[in-house]
Amino acid sequence: MQDVAHQVYPPSTLYVVATPIGNAGDITLRAVNVLALADAVACEDTRNTAQLLQRYGLHKELIAAHEHNEREAAEKLVERLRAGQRIALVSDAGTPAVSDPGARIVDAVRAAGLRVTPLPGASAAVSALSASGLIGDRFLFAGFLPAKAKQREAALMALKPVAATLVFYEAPHRILEMTDALSATLEAGRQVVFARELTKLFEEVHRCTLAEARAWLEADANRQKGEFVVLVEGAPPAAEGDDAEAERILAILLEECPLKQAAALAAKITGKKKNALYERALEIKGGG
């Protein structure tokens, strides 16, 4: 803690501070230090943040900065930062500006030429990914899907071809409806992970296929309670339609040119691997 206290925390800076997503122990030493040092804490809900600060023995001036007053709050914060203050920005849980207010304030502070510094910490999305075992080095954070069925379906259709793991946040009263929407839009064999109540007493990380998802949620009413991150495996590689098209192109080229050249041209046209097309060309020529 001494090392942390000896770091330099410049004035006229907005500190974007991640707070726990459940377990009060999930706050960093730097976050506590900056909260203690700050002249004021801008927050989504003053009551929640007062309670949070109390747990760490801190009492601070709190400034309400929620989604309905973010612009006006930003102006006031810029003035205070210009006057040399250190302001901490927090949300109710996790990392500010991630499916939470904060981005407008950060934008305004940066536009005013003032310093913004992040204090990394808890994030429901990253925690869920880390415990999912889903393999793949890319993910797409989609946040909350639209509540209205039509818009939700359109959003899911747009995400369907994405090969990266899809990351959603969802409220418990919509979890069944959301699962149905996923099942209606995406392939039934995709892996899905329900990461529920992370860092809390009833934490659960369950993985199954999309086809099995509704039955799992319904098997125990408690499984539909609490806060959820839902992860969905990315699109399966090379849709069948693509393969059929590559095959068609290869067959036409094989009628006109030698095998090697046909494979090379087909690779150029389709963007698929030359070796795989060469192997397939051999099979076609051999009558396979």
Task: Choose the stretch contacting ligand SAM; rule: CB under 6 A; options: 148-156, 198-206, 207-215, 244-252.
Answer: 198-206
224 in contact with ligand SAM (CB under 6 A): no
Q: Figure out which of the listed residues 65, 228, 263, 281 binds ligand SAM, where binding follows CB under 6 A.
A: 228
End-to-end CA distance of the chain: 69
Task: Choose the stretch contacting ligand SAM; rule: CB under 6 A; options: 119-127, 129-137, 204-212, 249-257.
Answer: 119-127
Q: Figure out which of the listed residues 46, 199, 209, 224 binds ligand SAM, where binding follows CB under 6 A.
A: 199
Quick one: 156 or 250, whose CB is closer to ligand SAM?
156
Quick one: 156 or 281, whose CB is closer to ligand SAM?
156
Q: Figure out which of the listed residues 65, 78, 87, 195 binds ligand SAM, where binding follows CB under 6 A.
A: 195
Binding characters for ligand SAM, 84-103, by CB under 6 A (x = yes): -------x-xxx--xxx---
Quick one: 223 or 272, whose CB is closer to ligand SAM?
223
Residues near 151 by beta carbon (within 8 Å), at least 6 away in sequence: none
Residues near 212 by beta carbon (within 8 Å), at least 6 away in sequence: none
Min CB(143)–ligand SAM separation in Å: 8
237 φ, ψ to 5°?
Answer: -65, 150
Query: In the chain, helix, strand, coil percent, each to 5?
Result: 45, 20, 35
Min CB(49)–ligand SAM separation in Å: 14
Binding characters for ligand SAM, 148-187, by CB under 6 A (x = yes): ---------------------xxx----------------
Could you tell me the CA-to-CA distances from 21 to 48, 52, 192 in Å, in that order? 12, 11, 22
Min CB(206)–ligand SAM separation in Å: 12
CB atoms within 10 A of CB 93: 21
Residue with the closest Cβ to ligand SAM? 94
Buried b / exposed e along 167-195 (16+ C-beta atoms within 10 A): bbbbeeebbeebbebbbebbeeebbbbbb
226 φ, ψ to 5°?
Answer: 95, -165
Quick one: 198 or 265, whose CB is closer to ligand SAM?
198
Copy the structure tokens of residue 217.
């949620």
Which conformational region is residue 271 in: left (phi greater than 0), alpha (psi within -120 to 50 degrees), or beta? left
Residue in 182, 183, 204, 207 with CA at minimum distance from that of residue 193:
207
Footprint on this chain of ligand SAM (rule: CB under 6 A):
21-22, 91, 93-95, 98-100, 123-125, 169-171, 195, 197-200, 227-229
